[in-house]
Amino acid sequence: MFELTQDHEDFRRVVRDFAEGEIAPHVEKWDQESHFPAHLIPQMGELGLFGLEAPEEFGGAGMDGDGFTYLCVAIEELGRVDQAMGITLEAGVGLGINPIQTYGSQEQKEQWLPDLVAGRALAGFGLTEPEAGSDAGATKTRAVLEDGEWVINGAKAFITNSGSPITSVVTVTARTGETPEGKPEISAIIVPNGTPGFTVEPAYRKLGWHISDTHGLTFEGARVPEANLLGERGHGFKQFLKTLDDGRIAIAALAVGCLQRMLEETTRYSQERLAFGRPIAVNQGVSFQVADIAMMTEIARQLTYKAAWLKEQQHAGKRSVAEVKQAAAYAKLYSTEAAVTATRMATQIFGGNGFMEEYPVARFYRDAKILEIGEGTSEVQRMVIARGLGLPS
């Protein structure tokens, strides 16, 4: 059965020390200025955070499928200090590195992975479009082969790590034709940063995740070599669905980091804050809420790390894809909704101070909502779970 080992906990301490030493002292300022701290990415690379699942030949840890739980621990610990830095790692690995590592040719891996794994560069994942979110099959971006090159036209929306000073490449889905059944043929294509016709739009003004690098992308006759096709032609949609299954567990880990921080903040504040001459923690209306946050944190952590363990078991051929898919949906749905609830409760416990930006619960409250949306909405997770139970779609 799954259980975090002492090695996992030792690794947790390393990441926590980094997060508390390098992120925590500056996070309020960065959040206010919507500043992406690109200088931290190579430092995270030196800690090995981007290479936990990567082979040694590209600079990774070479754990051969056993690095996913370590990745979840790292995302949780970064997310405990700042959710935006947690998503930077999650997207950098799950959406940037993993598609190239899993589906790329040897040449593509050799070209892109060493810098991405080392934290010298970041990669983005271009799936969502202005009119194609949960309905990713409605992709309108098109790529046509002309004289040995893909000519890409279209737009992508809400793409993480796509416009940072060190972004090197974005992998995008595009319609490359039609299937024999008349459905869109969706393929994945690697587009290097700086490609003529590829424009990174100005950063969004977001409710939360102010530190995260997020942009829209447009393609107007952007040309890349035919060899930039990632995986098999027409398999791009399937590839990205598989990528999202893994990413949902990582998003759940990010939510666990949020929950853990809310537990720590409310436990401390409820004992320090005095009302009528007594700590507010003596009031059951407060202590019961803290107890609920503790319970949600524990359940979310168990669901998340069970799903991570199952994923590693699947890699070893001991569990089915369907079982992991269901566990990922459980973890993502419960953990993210619990995080939204816990941040609301924490803000209420803090009272007027919870509405003030100098208290971290305000930032976590803003950041939590996107967890229910990104990498598969709560509604999509319920669809996945219902189908896994055999209910008609």
- Is residue 252 assigned to a domain? yes
**Number of Cα atoms under 13 Å in the Cβ half of residue 331:** 31
Is pLDDT of 393 > 80?
no
- pLDDT of the residue at 76: 98
What is the C-alpha to C-alpha distance for residues 118 and 49, in angstroms, rounded to an integer? 9
**What's the rounded mean pLDDT across residues 113-131?**
96
**What's the rounded mean pLDDT across residues 10-23?**
98
Is pLDDT of 102 > 70?
yes
- pLDDT of the residue at 136: 67
| Statement to judge: residues 250 and 167 lie in one domain | no
Higher pLDDT, 136 or 188: 188
Q: In the predicted model, what is the mean pLDDT of the chain? A: 96
The total number of structural domains that make up the chain = 3
Tell me which residue range forms the domain holding 15: 6-121
- Is residue 299 assigned to a domain? yes
- Residue 195 carries which side chain, given as an amino acid letter? T
- Residue 37 carries which side chain, given as an amino acid letter? P
Question: How many CB atoms sit inside 10 A of residue 275's CB?
Answer: 11
- pLDDT of the residue at 131: 87
- For every residue of the chain, which 3-state class applies, written as one string? CCCCCHHHHHHHHHHHHHHHHHHCCCHHHHHHHCCCCCCHHHHHHHCCHHHCCCCHHHCCCCCCCCCHHHHHHHHHHHHHHCHHHHHHHHHHHHHHHHHHHHHCCHHHHHHHHHHHHHCCCEEEEECCECCECCCHHHCCCEEEEECCEEEEEEEEEEEECCCCCCEEEEEEEEEEEECCCCCEEEEEEEEECCCCCEEECCCCCCCCCCCCCEEEEEEEEEEEEHHHEECCCCCHHHHHHHHHHHHHHHHHHHHHHHHHHHHHHHHHHHHHCEECCEEHHHCHHHHHHHHHHHHHHHHHHHHHHHHHHHHHHHHCCCCCHHHHHHHHHHHHHHHHHHHHHHHHHHHHHHHHHHHCCCCHHHHHHHHHHHHHCCCCCHHHHHHHHHHHCCCCC
Q: What is the pLDDT of residues 310-328, one digit of tens each?
A: 999 999 999 999 999 999 9
Question: How many CB atoms sit inside 10 A of residue 226's CB?
Answer: 13
Confidence label for 60 from pLDDT (cuts 50, 70 and 90):
very high
- pLDDT of the residue at 1: 59
Catalytic residue positions?
Answer: 375
| Statement to judge: residues 99 and 186 lie in one domain | no
What is the C-alpha to C-alpha distance for residues 248 and 330, in angstroms, rounded to an integer? 9
| Statement to judge: residues 104 and 140 lie in one domain | no
Confidence label for 347 from pLDDT (cuts 50, 70 and 90):
very high
**What's the rounded mean pLDDT across residues 105-133?**
95
| Statement to judge: residues 203 and 292 lie in one domain | no
CATH number of the structural domain spanning residue 70: 1.10.540.10
- Is residue 393 assigned to a domain? no
**What's the rounded mean pLDDT across residues 353-367?**
97
| Statement to judge: residues 221 and 302 lie in one domain | no
| Statement to judge: residues 35 and 158 lie in one domain | no
| Statement to judge: residues 259 and 377 lie in one domain | yes
- Is residue 324 assigned to a domain? yes
Confidence label for 41 from pLDDT (cuts 50, 70 and 90):
very high
> Tokens at residue 156, please?
């992508």
- pLDDT of the residue at 132: 81
**What's the rounded mean pLDDT across residues 347-368?**
97
| Statement to judge: residues 129 and 22 lie in one domain | no
